[in-house]
Amino acid sequence: MIPIIDGHNDALLRAWRSGDSLRARSDEGHLDLPRMHDGGVAAGFFAIYVPATDEEPPEPSDRIVPTDDGWEVPLEEALPPDRARLVAREFLAIAERELPIVRTIDELERCIAGEQVGAILHLEGAEPLDEDLQDWYERGIRSLGLVWSRPNDYGHGVQFRYPGAPDGPGLTERGKRLVQDCNELGILVDCAHLTAEGFFDVAARTSAPLVVTHAGAHTVSPSPRNLTDRQLDAIRDADGVVGVFFDTVMTRPDGELDSSTTVDVVVSHIEYIANRIGPDHVALGSDWDGCYPPPALDDASKAQAILDALGWSHAELSALAHGNWLRVLRATW
């Protein structure tokens, strides 16, 4: 079994809504610590994502609005800053209670060695920040996405639309300063959900490798959440990495939510990115508990299935599974 570092999950959102413990095996959702252990997931990026509502989201069919050539999901509004900070602190308290938080490369390497399953804390959307980035760092945040798929004071996220391009405005001046602040503290800056303009705003300013924790290839599936060839080339040139997500809708070429989707659809994105920019620049970023994965990947205990589906050498699979994340985090933290 090859140890895996997974670039994104939303298990904290599930735990916040349900009250379930992530330390106990569950039949709900996609991920908890026992199922990570079973699947060889040594560590994962656990997102602190503040939703627009405390309620469970509607079913996909209730959210999707048909268009002439595909579909879109209307943009939601972010919570007011005070409420966003309160909810994010609730997520952080759950993480501190439930998870072995990884703060250093040494701790991450111990996870790879099998000593424990670890959690890298990721703030998905900078809405909860005030002037307290240092405090978040001290509490364990080691990865930060400036936006989710909605605008905030730091930049603009792409809309969920099929087909679509990652169009829209870039970072605000506040967002540009935040990139520099993260570099100085040693916090990874995640370009997932950003518009292409925002992505290149980060690329022009960051002193760290360029990272997208969970996305796919736009050439394979024309979702605005996926990366164009120009973005992929920039990641290669910055010695960065893309974590490929497992979402059915955003990896299928037809953009359909189809329960018969196989793991080969996800593999097609991994192989396209590896062929385009090299196997040193692609990793895994499942988006468990925040997406609709193929049945073969709908549980963290099944994580090795994605490696089994690739005809790569052991060295290449190890780089995909954890080595590329380790390289980027060593350079960033």
Is the pLDDT at 30 greater than 90, yes or no?
yes
Query: What's the CATH number where 154 sits?
Result: 3.20.20.140
Is the pLDDT at 61 greater than 90, yes or no?
no
Tell me, what's the pLDDT at 81? 81
The kind and range of the H/E element at 105 are helix 105-112
Give tens-digit pLDDT for 113-140: 999 999 999 999 999 998 789 999 999 9
Can you tell me the mean pLDDT for 238-246?
98
Higher pLDDT among residues 132 and 105, named by residue: 105
Percent of the chain with pLDDT over 70: 98
- Which strands form 71-73's sheet, in the order they lie side by side? 65-66, 71-73, 160-162
CA distance 287 to 156: 20
Instruction: Say which range, 46-55, 178-187, 302-311, has the weakest mean pLDDT.
Output: 46-55
Higher pLDDT among residues 83 and 210, named by residue: 210
Give tens-digit pLDDT for 273-304: 999 999 999 999 999 999 999 999 999 999 99
CA distance 269 to 259: 18
Percent of the chain with pLDDT over 90: 89
Can you tell me the mean pLDDT for 209-216?
98
Spatial CA neighbour of 279 closest among 225, 328, 316: 316
- CB-based contact 141:122 (threshold 8 Å): yes
Is the pLDDT at 34 greater than 70, yes or no?
yes
Tell me, what's the pLDDT at 38? 98
What range does the domain containing 288 cover? 4-332
Arithmetic mean of pLDDT over the chain: 95
Is the pLDDT at 64 greater than 90, yes or no?
no
Spatial CA neighbour of 9 closest among 265, 214, 256, 250: 214
How many separate domains does the chain show?
Answer: 1
How would you class 184 by CB atoms within 10 Å of its CB: exposed for 0-12, middle for 13-18, buried for 19 or more? exposed
- CB-based contact 331:239 (threshold 8 Å): yes
Tell me, what's the pLDDT at 76? 82
Mean pLDDT highest for which of 48-52, 57-61, 82-86, 185-189?
A: 185-189
Tell me, what's the pLDDT at 132? 87
CA distance 326 to 311: 22
